[in-house]
Amino acid sequence: MSETVFPASSQHDEWMLEALAEARLALRSGDVPVGAAIVVTESGERLATGRNERELHTDPTGHAEIVALRAAARARGNWQLQGTTLIVTLEPCVMCAGAILAARVDTVVFGAWDEKAGAVGSVYDVLRDRRLNHRVEVFAGVRAAECGQLLTEFFREP
């Protein structure tokens, strides 16, 4: 795991509560409880939220981050999401990290590390790869225990 370069703020902690609420809603459809929120960094205004919807829509791209990015682009009327922060309960995977880069998101805040598929420091570090044309500021481990516990409980149940 990469070290967190910047300390998280109390604002990140508050935003993570919104992402956790979305993660809990994902449980209703039998989806892995991962939630996301996108906020406009300067104003703190919530632009969009998302939660895993792979089971709900039989969609392999239905990750919380992708759902939130699509909603934010629609809300903004533009696919370019500069000036935004994406908050997500689980470290983004390679697919989601690529979408975050493509959308030009400035900052990602995540909760639990994903030691098997994480692409923001665990397995890969796509968002801060100097070979790519856009890099993202990352704050890791925000409410990590709470985010991780939700996932552990989901996978423990029969």
What are the binding residues for Zn(2+)? 63, 93, 96
What are phi and psi for residue 2, nearest 5 degrees? -75, 150
Q: Is 37 helix (H, G, I), strand (E, B) or coil?
A: strand
Active site residue 18: no
Q: Which residue's entry shows tokens 């979408």?
A: 99
For 31, 33, 64, 153, the CA distances from 158, given in Å and listed in that order, are: 14, 15, 23, 10
* Contact (CB, 8 A) for 32 and 52: yes
Among residues 65, 115, 137, 146, the one annotated as catalytic is 65
Binding residues, as ranges, are 63, 93, 96
For 48, 61, 69, 139, the CA distances from 14, given in Å and listed in that order, are: 15, 27, 20, 14
Annotated active-site positions, please? 65
